[in-house]
Structure 1
Amino acid sequence: MISPATYYPEFDSVEVEARITPLAACDEEIVRTLRCAAPPRSYEALVDSASRAAVDEWLGEAEEYPFQNVVRTVVAGVVAESGPLGPYADVFHDPRAALRETLGRAESRLRELWTRPLVAAINHARARGLLSGASPEERYDDFVERAVRTSFEEVSGLSFPVLRDVTRTVLTYEVANVRELCRRLLADRQEIARVFGIEPADRIVSCGFSDGDAHNRGRSVSVLGFASGARLVYKPRDVSCEAAYAALADRVNDRYGTSLAAAPVLRREGYGYVEFVAAEDVSATSEEFMEASGELAAVLYLLNARDMHFENIVATRRGPVPIDLETILHPRRLYVGATPEAPGNAYDALGESLYGIGILPLVMVGKDEGAGHVDVGFLGGQGRGSSPFKTVRLLDPYTDHVRLALEAQESPSRRTVAGALTEEETHALGAHMAVGFGRVYRAVLDEPGSWRELLREAASGVRVRYVHNATVLYGQTLRMASSARALDDYEPYLALLKRIAIASQDSSRELVASELRQLARRDIPYFTVAAEGVALEEGDGTPTGAEFDRSPLDLALEKAERLSETDLDEQLRLLYSAFSASFPDNHLARPGTAGPAPSRPDPERSRSAARSRSAARSRSAARSRSATSEGPEAGHAEGGAGLARLLDGLCARFLATSLPDRYGNLPATWIGPSASAQVGRPWPPVVLGYDLYTGRPGPALALAAGGRVLDNAAYRDAAAQVFGTTAGILADGTYEKRSLRQAGFAGYTGLSGLLFALFAAGRLVGSDEWTDAAREAVPLVLDQVRDERPDELPLEAVSGLAGVLSCVLAIGGPHADAALVELAGLLTDALRPGRVPAELAQSGCAHGVSGILAVLSRVQPRLTEGRQVVGDALARLYDRLDAFYDPDARDWFTNLAGPRSFSTGWCHGTAGVALGLSAYGALTGDEDVLRRRGTAVDTMLRHGFGRNITWCHGDLGNHDILRELIRDTGDPDGRLREELAAVESTWLTPEVFRRKLADPRSRYAHTTSLLVGTSGVALHLANRLDPGVHVSPVTLTVAEGWT
């Protein structure tokens, strides 16, 4: 009896009963279908001697991978009854070559299926002493030779009845599909000649069977090669989408003056042929090509297309040519869950966005911080590092010790449209694409009736594919069900396949049952729906019993009604973000200039430049100080009023782009790039989650601050939708513990950061309900921390204990004192003498020594016990900073583990060191600490501004640290206030903000992230305008008034 916990750990017992148990009704049908597959006869039954000789030659070739001879012997059965080509040999220029291609295709289908049972069998045979030979290699040869003569089950003594049944099914489909192709070619040669100019006498020299996905009983696309050199794509599925697009492209070109390119199509009943389109080098015409790509992107966006990645569009000198269009007019995901989905929710909006098409760089990132990524977008680039997807590798191959290992693989190389580009070239191509996209979008916006007419014409008689789950998920499910244990018995085989119900848990039972049936016969599930209908069918026309609420055509028409300049701006934001996300923007221009900030100078030149600027700073100080300290009406001409206008514009944008989460009972959210604190990690657009760094708390907190400063009820109400709903969920206990575990506990990336934002927003708008909810939820954070092994807890500020400590210290409440003692104890225990955790190799605040030094210095006076232990840990941390100090540069290295370099920001650089030393100095009053703090402050002032408008590693964070330093030191001579004013009047003016926020090349302008995006800018503006409540994402503090 299978334990549900073994196969479905994601589900509790109630969910298993509701979603897995009913699928048992499919078991008997699936088993009967697989067992009744007609077994192919042995190839010795061939009467055609030439075919038999071809098979013998194929079987006699040396192995190119382990167990290949065993697999090929099984595959040879497909040539029974005169072979799969049967009476169709005359279709081919060389029937023997066609037969070898057929055998090779069948071999590729069986290889993955048979590998793990064969590995299990040979190891079992070795352990039982059943193999002959003096070495592992000789025993492997013995196993293979005997398995070819008899069977590997007989050699090993193991039995795999499911494998036998599935193998018969797969091979039966292979034979039937090759014969189906031959029949269709014979019937269609005249029409092929008419449409594509390939004469009937032009014989086929290659079937071009792909190793791609199999659908509809093993069918897959083939690229047919002819003796003349011509090639043609055979698609054994409905091609009405390709035909409709080809006709639509001509109409759109005539109506709107576009240059859409389309491949000619021959549509037959349930299948068809498409012109083979060869990729060409477009680098010489890249600007024109990118404008054409923008036009194509606009049309695909209007058509609600999906899955238009780099394999489905081809770059040619006549423009981008889509070659696989089955997923245009894609319907929304079928949902039948108990909680209604919110209309217009963010997940639907992202799926139907320009990014959701797949034509833009489309990055898939691994979950772990160090994971690499792949880019599958048509206009994407090469991946980096390890692929998010793992692969199975055979260790000790060709021996009787062969075993399997699941390993990460390097991101595979792919052909890119534009090749290697500089940053400027990349930005330029994005700008050209934006021109093409905007031109078509506005043309349709000006004449919506014309587009709707074209849309209705195109959709007539069309069937579109519905992708319910990603192909990669289906493939993963099939690999799980290819284990030796699964292929030994139907109970585990079916149990593993039923895991698809986890991804489809809110789908109709009929749809999940259809997925299960198709997976059981080793197909990637395939579904279609009429563009004007709602009934969902399998690829062969079998009804699933599931229906959509609205037809694909209705959804596309509704999108046409919603077109607007605001929506265009949002789509262009996603476009620009895709091209800018890889490039940090570290150049602010002074007011009245267009150039970047100067690069980092050496210390001596910096000191000289600082002295020469002193007088200018003094003159501006009085003006800017008043704007800093006296509220919205203070300051020079642009001063407070200019900042207020900027804040109002940002909040208005947050308000306009807020979207419901998937379910209406959840807090609202936004769509935006998923900014990361990790250098080099891509920023793909997502529905924002709950993390403080880049999630929905950022824009919601900005709206709360803007509502307070500007006295705007609409902004306060929008903030309340997020934080009021969050407070209610926490207070009522209507959250899922599973969701909390997934969120984690960290300050910037987990639950404690969300509670900090909830508390800060409550303080901003005066809501005791929100602050109380945050305080009462502190134990939830502690529960998550306790679930981790103490020796595996990260210590740093972004994702570890230091950030949690800061949040709990700020939130306070009845649980805070005990929580602070427990958290400080865990942190100091990890820092006890003799231990050197990874965090001690970095100097900055985000991931290193300074962040831990700062928070422990602030926490120590609040502790009810353990103060001495914390004091001792602080002394060791302070000493540790000496390892980073370079007396010649009067600066601290960022990292001891890698090449030594300097940085300027809070996260990795001297500003963070200054913050840590200031907190420790304020605690101890130690003169040596205060001298070092002065050095760090001087270095920060020399190098820390003119970079970018972010809190994490830019001017906003360093500006906030200056404010913190003024609070810690009292600034007796007013020097730091003067420096602060000079920074505000030089680098953080309304003009500078406007320019950077409008710069499409700046990745920070496209994300709403609190730490590196526009909500962080809004919070900075609110802090400067209103001294009443100061919220700092750097120190994770909420302070009253301006000191």
Structure 2
Amino acid sequence: MNKTQNSDNYVYENSMLNVFKEEDYFEGFAQYYISIFKAQIVKEIDRIPSESLLDKGCLVESILINYKKKIYYLAGKTLIHEFHQTFDEFDQKNESKNYDIFSERLKNSAFVEEILNNYPVLQGLISRSTSDFIRFTISIIKHWVNDYKKIQQKFNLSFGKMRKINMNAGDVHNGGKSVVIIEFENNKLVYKPRSLEIDVFYEKVIDYVNQYYQTNLKTPLSLDQGEYGWQEYVQSEPCDNIEQVRNYYYQFGMHLGFIYAFQGSDFHFENIIACRDKPVLVDLETLFQSSLFFSEENKENVNLMASAQVNKTILKSALFNYMSFPEDNGLTNIGGLINTENQKGEKEEVLHIKTDKISMRKKQYLFKRGRNLPVYKNKVAECFEFEREFIEGFKRIYFILKEDLYIRNLIRDLNYAPIRIIVRPTYVYASFLETLLHPMYLKDYGERIRVLSFIKDAYTKYEVFDSISPFEIKDMMIGDIPYFNAPISEKRVYSNSIHVVDTGIMKQSAKQEVLTRLANMSEEDMHQQVSLINMALSSTAANLDIIYKNQIDDFVPGYFKNDIQIKELIQIETDCILKQAIESEKYLQWVSIVSAPNGTLSVGPLSFGLYDGLAGVGLYFSAYDFIYNDEKVKSVLRKIVNSINQIYEHSIYKTNFSAFYGSSSYIYFVNKMRDTGLYSENEVNSMCKAYLEKLRQETGQITHTDFIGGLAGILKVVIQLGRYHRTELMEDTARAVCKEICKRAIQNRNEAYWKSDADENIVLAGFSHGITGICYALSEYYAHIEASGEVLRLIESALKYEDKFFDIKINKWRDNRKNELDYSSAMWCHGSCGILLGRSRIYENVDGRIHVGYINESLDDTLLNGNFHRQGYSLCHGTMGNIDVLHAIKELSLFKNRKQEIENTINIWVNHFKETLLKNGWQNGIRNDHSGLGMMLGKTGQLYALLRLVNKEIPTPLALD
């Protein structure tokens, strides 16, 4: 043995000293495997002739540390479980007594083998992982040695000796392979165990665009070696000034232009690095994607139809929060444009290490600052303030790609480049694999197969998974995340680049689809994508309660004239909305800002409801058809009804009775469609009967009481049903709902109130969430069902209590929500306008039998401040909602002396609305949203209010008329 080998052996021996850290536990078990592994890995490394290219001591130490982590990942839960079977009671005087005994026993290999004999699946996983680990690690080292000259030539850097291999840079696929970050004496490189042909292609595209279009984009240098490749390691760096931040988002928008054109996906926050003013895409295996067809039902299922269309938009990039299906929580807070810093996550953690209380628990943690967004003055500079730059960058590349032929020729030259095909979200696989590390699944292979058999129906059930799931199970049996790919010019899908998966999931090759997209790029499509960007950013900002201003010319309607009339405005915008629709022979859908089940705002297909769903859009088109008798709108309505019926049938909100987003909103819509012929009279009556029977049974279980989400709104819907078809069941149900509302009132002498649904520690004034809205519903019951003295007295007592919230000194209603506001704005949902609507209607319903105060004062505040705000023009909390309320109350006898004043105000506000629209575009209920369609927050609600000005026979949805 020569001197070098002696030296290496000395280093090898000492490398063991640094493998174990303070946070490790039961080291004897890991040591059992590491000792064997070390001998094997040293033997293999010594066979590689590489004296000047490897720092063997450091390298082996890093390999051992990575291998140790693998052992703990596979066996950690089992070790902790086995340990807790060895004793029954804690020693109060020595908290590590049993831990020390068990640790000492693990130093005996016979005891380790005794444990392993009880877990043959674990033993097999470790054995397989060890072989894969050695094979993969040695292949990396050999590739480094063999490719050294090419690497030097490509990257033109001084690397020095290889010192560390870090294997925590990605999911494990294809026999334990993953992305690896390699540290050398002077620099770092990224090793990827897949072809980098697509990465090299993108490098060529960026070089070409930079040269011929005077841009300055950056992409990492890549060396493709067929089944693997080397890539430049990109270090994140902060910006020096605000101009660099602006440039960052301009360039990010440009990259999105390419991603959209190439149908890219999966660009989450870990796949982008912010390097001063340059965003760098560091994982391009999903830059090209085909549309996937999971079921022949695509055209017969409105949700599949909408999802397929969503996946043809910029949302597929995964840069933004979005939903593929109605009522789906969707992709949340992991996108490439999302600031993950301090967001909550959950991970398994070993607690009470080296004590008898050692355990593994899921624990919440806060994400560290990501590397995907620019940092300026040690703060993450988010995209919202730079929406203009981002969109301008997107448009710049869009128009280049629309005309440029050279890039299309580069794409045509790609024939065999493999692209990754993602058939399920990775988290579905990861969840299964994490579950299977529980000791109960490590004893019997049959049990492991049984659990994995459920993967076929996981996430979403489609027949295509019958042919895919055997390959998924095969990969997960050995602990790998399943990996599918396809050559860019083929429709065949492969598992791990070897086995053909007979799925028929791709109807066209990715190359053909991308070339078709490039040929079909248009101004109209570009504006559609820009609208989606706007909705995605504004909804995310709203979730984070971030206030910013975006002044972007793209959202100013270029087709409006200064003297445009209301009718022309309505017709032009209606045509625009129809152009945005996702349409099949039977169904219609739209993508807009919607509320996800988890309470956050997102962008995705509409659910069935009135507030932000298809029922609201359908009501608008029904009113439009009523006025203009448009034949094309009649077919639109039929398709909307088909979509609503199908979505409602499987909706998670079907058991919720809310009048704005639950089953009551559905029945309200169905009832409003009586005169359209879209439902027969018998159909409507039958559906109403089923609804009333269910409601009658479950009234006491409905938790909310207010108008927008609870019993008050429900009561109004029930009474509306009676106006069309009064039955004994309808009356009994109305009585039951009314009785439940009265029962929930907290009464004290001559006052009464209801606790807020959102916070039982507060009481709210207002219409949608407060006392006036509840009293209005009770007054409707009093006027149309039963003139009950008890109900009348409760209304009087509750209004008297609510009067306390009115400040006569400044003529405003106090805002009792915990939102840092002392007084409510004059809006429908909270404040004077909604109270004006409710109290004036109450006064009419009770025919002056009780005192209803502060009506004129609420009108004064509405007229003075109803357009003096920065909350936009939505129905819910904007000027058009206020206009609609004024229009609803102006004919009441209460205001016969103020009718002209009200009409003058309406006219002034409508003109201001048109001026703002011409200057700044639509100003919707979500701040900075110019594109959303929903009834209460978006365009259709504002257009509906305009329709009501054209024809006063159209009822207001704000009172559920």
Whether these two folds match at TM > 0.5 is yes
Equivalent runs, 1:792-871 vs 2, <5 Å: 793-812=703-722, 813=725, 816-831=730-745, 836=755, 838-839=757-758, 841=762, 842-863=764-785, 867=788, 870-871=791-792
Q: Deviations over 1:165-221 (max 9, x none)?
A: 22322233222211121122222112112212246x821122232253111111111
Contact 2:890 2:902 in 1 (8 A): no
Equivalent runs, 1:665-676 vs 2, <5 Å: 667-674=587-594
Shift in Å, 1:659: 0.4
2:112 & 2:648 partners in 1: Cα distance?
47
Shift in Å, 1:775: 4.6
Q: Deviations over 1:420-471 (max 9, x none)?
A: 7999995662212222222332233345x555333212x3331101111112
Aligned to 1:749: 661
Aligned to 2:566: 643
2:688 & 2:311 partners in 1: Cα distance?
35
Aligned to 1:930: 852
Aligned to 1:717: 635
Letter in 2 for 1:808: V
Letter in 1 for 2:184: F
Aligned to 1:417: 373
Moved more, 647-656 or 511-520: 511-520
Moved more, 782-791 or 851-860: 782-791
Q: Deviations over 1:269-317 (max 9, x none)?
A: 2111112222233444233333332322212211111112332233335
Contact 2:659 2:714 in 1 (8 A): yes
Letter in 2 for 1:96: G
2:229 is paired with a residue whose SS is strand
Aligned to 1:686: 604
Moved more, 651-660 or 251-260: 251-260
Does residue 503 (structure 1) correspond to residue 459 (structure 2)? The answer is yes
Contact 1:153 1:159 in 2 (8 A): no
Contact 2:26 2:106 in 1 (8 A): no
Does residue 456 (structure 1) correspond to residue 425 (structure 2)? The answer is no
1:492 & 1:70 partners in 2: Cα distance?
25
Letter in 2 for 1:124: Q
What runs of 5+ residues in structure 2 fail to find an aligned partner? 1-5, 550-560, 749-753
2:66 & 2:694 partners in 1: Cα distance?
50
Equivalent runs, 1:993-1032 vs 2, <5 Å: 993-997=917-921, 1003-1032=928-957
Does residue 943 (structure 1) correspond to residue 857 (structure 2)? The answer is no
2:39 & 2:801 partners in 1: Cα distance?
76
Q: Deviations over 1:968-1010 (max 9, x none)?
A: x423433155224313323554333443435799634211111
Equivalent runs, 1:769-784 vs 2, <5 Å: 769=679, 773-778=683-688, 781=691
Change over 3 Å in CA distance of 1:268–1:417 after alignment to 2 = same
Does residue 701 (structure 1) correspond to residue 607 (structure 2)? The answer is no
Aligned to 2:651: 739
Shift in Å, 1:51: 6.4
1:568 is paired with a residue whose SS is helix
Change over 3 Å in CA distance of 1:134–1:296 after alignment to 2 = same
2:451 & 2:818 partners in 1: Cα distance?
44
Aligned to 1:895: 816
Q: Provide the TM-score with structure 2 as the length reference.
A: 0.85
What runs of 5+ residues in structure 1 fail to find an aligned partner? 1-45, 589-636, 730-734, 1038-1043
Task: Say which of 293, 312, 320 aligns to 1:352.
Answer: 312
Letter in 1 for 2:594: S
Q: Provide the TM-score with structure 1 as the length reference.
A: 0.79
Aligned to 1:577: 535
The two structures, once aligned, show a CA RMSD in angstroms of 4.1
Change over 3 Å in CA distance of 1:476–1:144 after alignment to 2 = same
Equivalent runs, 1:871-910 vs 2, <5 Å: 871=792, 874-875=795-796, 877-882=798-803, 884-895=805-816, 899=820, 901-904=822-825, 905-910=827-832
1:546 is paired with a residue whose SS is coil
2:502 is paired with a residue whose SS is strand
Equivalent runs, 1:209-228 vs 2, <5 Å: 209-227=167-185
Contact 1:161 1:488 in 2 (8 A): yes
Moved more, 952-961 or 985-994: 985-994
Q: Deviations over 1:121-171 (max 9, x none)?
A: 3443333x5x87844443333334334546888999994333332232223
Equivalent runs, 1:357-376 vs 2, <5 Å: 357-359=317-319, 361-362=320-321, 375-376=333-334
2:87 is paired with a residue whose SS is helix
1:950 & 1:736 partners in 2: Cα distance?
25
Shift in Å, 1:511: 0.9
Change over 3 Å in CA distance of 1:925–1:906 after alignment to 2 = same
Aligned to 2:883: 959
Change over 3 Å in CA distance of 1:846–1:91 after alignment to 2 = farther
Change over 3 Å in CA distance of 1:87–1:555 after alignment to 2 = same
Q: Deviations over 1:598-629 (max 9, x none)?
A: xxxxxxxxxxxxxxxxxxxxxxxxxxxxxxxx
Aligned to 2:897: 974
Contact 2:250 2:391 in 1 (8 A): yes
Shift in Å, 1:642: 1.1
Change over 3 Å in CA distance of 1:776–1:1004 after alignment to 2 = farther
2:147 is paired with a residue whose SS is helix
Letter in 2 for 1:435: E
Change over 3 Å in CA distance of 1:117–1:886 after alignment to 2 = farther
Aligned to 2:390: 433
Shift in Å, 1:699: 2.9
Change over 3 Å in CA distance of 1:737–1:688 after alignment to 2 = closer
1:692 is paired with a residue whose SS is coil
1:246 & 1:307 partners in 2: Cα distance?
19
1:771 & 1:80 partners in 2: Cα distance?
82
Change over 3 Å in CA distance of 1:914–1:861 after alignment to 2 = same
Does residue 985 (structure 1) correspond to residue 912 (structure 2)? The answer is no
Contact 2:695 2:733 in 1 (8 A): no
Letter in 2 for 1:347: S
Change over 3 Å in CA distance of 1:246–1:902 after alignment to 2 = same
Contact 2:815 2:823 in 1 (8 A): yes
Counting aligned pairs with the same residue, the percent is 19
Shift in Å, 1:674: 2.3
2:427 & 2:206 partners in 1: Cα distance?
31
Change over 3 Å in CA distance of 1:251–1:759 after alignment to 2 = farther
Aligned residues: 917
Shift in Å, 1:792: 6.5
Aligned to 1:608: none
Aligned to 1:81: 40
1:136 & 1:919 partners in 2: Cα distance?
70
1:299 is paired with a residue whose SS is helix
Q: Deviations over 1:694-744 (max 9, x none)?
A: 2233333322222332332222321221125546x6xxxxx8854355674
